[in-house]
Amino acid sequence: MRSSHISRVLWVALLAGLMSTGANAAQRVVSIGGTITEIVYLLEAESQLVASDTSSIYPEAADQMPKVGYQRTLSAEGVLSVHPDTLLITPAAGPATVLRQLKDTGMNLVTIEAPDTQQGILDKITQVATALNQEVKGKSVVHQVEQAFNQLKIPEQWAQQRPPRLLFVLQIGGAPMVAGKNTAPDTLFRLTGATNAVSSINGFKTLTPEAILRAQPDAIVVTQQGLSQVGERAIWSLPGMLATPAGKAQRLLSLDALLALGLGPRTPQAIQSLHHQLEEWVP
């Protein structure tokens, strides 16, 4: 009798465990990439997070949570130390050998990948929501972000005359590294209604003084974090910079690094910020 009772108890416990596993999948999640982590918080699913990578700096709570390293230089030991069942990653995550090791442990690796477009930003939200079993909340967040995009308006003078030529400078010290086409800043500029002053180059490249002069940017865009490290003088001290329209007007725009490089749900906010900072610009 006692043996039969124990068997029934174990069976009920096992059944409850299986049901719980199905209903609460991905309960121990590590998010790799600042944009992915930001989306998790926007979905109000942060209780499922046990750690993130060092690029996850927004919101403030995400910056304070345990870190497993930088997304491009992960270690299996660092990730496994927090015992996750799911790893949300960007295509930039690596190295590949570490990702294979993690997958071999039985961990669920989910790559969040979408084109660098407005629709791509919305698709990232949907993908993260699906991975976390937050589809209903995901649809609501997608609608909110879509509405934020729809409320944006390109300044009339840009459409009537010409848009500003913007130059995003990632590395300020030494030879400046700038963002050409197929980069997040390039996409951000297009969504803003502006022109990338160096759209003729691909990816992030260093620029010579002659190339800066040929680019003729109307404004320079940098990250707030980079600017705080070197100061504004370092920008205008770059050879050739003072001879550009941006240099002559001392027109410098700054954005939080995740806003400038993340192409996440706050992209409408980044666009609004650029519009505001360029209010006095006249073609």
The mean pLDDT of 5-31, rounded to a whole number, is 50
- Point out the least confidently predicted range of 6-10, 175-179, 209-213, 256-260: 6-10
Answer whether 35's CB lies under 8 Å from 90's CB. yes
Protein fold of 29-151: Rossmann fold (3.40.50)
Q: Residue 197 pLDDT more than 70?
A: yes
Q: What is the pLDDT of residue 116?
A: 92
For residue 238, give the DSSP letter: S
Q: Residue 15 pLDDT more than 80?
A: no
Q: What is the pLDDT of residue 1?
A: 42
Separation between Cα atoms, residue 98 and residue 73, nearest integer Å: 9
Higher pLDDT, 24 or 6: 24
pLDDT bin (cut points 50, 70, 90) of residue 9 is very low
Q: Residue 213 pLDDT more than 90?
A: yes
Higher pLDDT, 241 or 2: 241
Answer whether 29-151 and 156-278 agree in fold.
Answer: yes
Q: Does domain 156-278 have CATH number 3.40.605.10?
A: no
CA 151 to chain centre: 22
The mean pLDDT of 64-77, rounded to a whole number, is 96
Going by C-alpha positions, the residue among 105, 65, 72 that lies closest to residue 89 is 72
Q: What is the pLDDT of residue 174?
A: 74
Per-residue pLDDT tens over the stretch 98-144: 999 999 999 999 999 999 999 999 999 999 999 999 999 999 999 99
Share the mean pLDDT of the chain: 90
Per-residue pLDDT tens over the stretch 141-192: 999 999 999 999 999 889 888 999 999 999 887 789 999 999 999 999 999 9
Annotated domain spans of the chain: 29-151, 156-278
Per-residue pLDDT tens over the stretch 52-67: 999 999 999 999 999 9
The mean pLDDT of 27-36, rounded to a whole number, is 96
Separation between Cα atoms, residue 124 and residue 271, nearest integer Å: 18
Percentage of residues of the chain with pLDDT beyond 70:
91
The mean pLDDT of 75-103, rounded to a whole number, is 96
Q: What is the pLDDT of residue 26?
A: 61
Separation between Cα atoms, residue 195 and residue 188, nearest integer Å: 10
Q: What is the pLDDT of residue 94?
A: 96
> Inter-axis angle of helices 267-277 and 135-150, to 10 degrees?
20
**Measured on CA atoms in the order 82, 83, 86, 92, is the torsion positive or negative?**
positive
Q: Residue 8 pLDDT more than 80?
A: no
Q: What is the pLDDT of residue 175?
A: 81
Going by C-alpha positions, the residue among 9, 7, 48, 15 that lies closest to residue 31 is 48
Name the strand (E) or helix (H) holding 146: helix 135-150
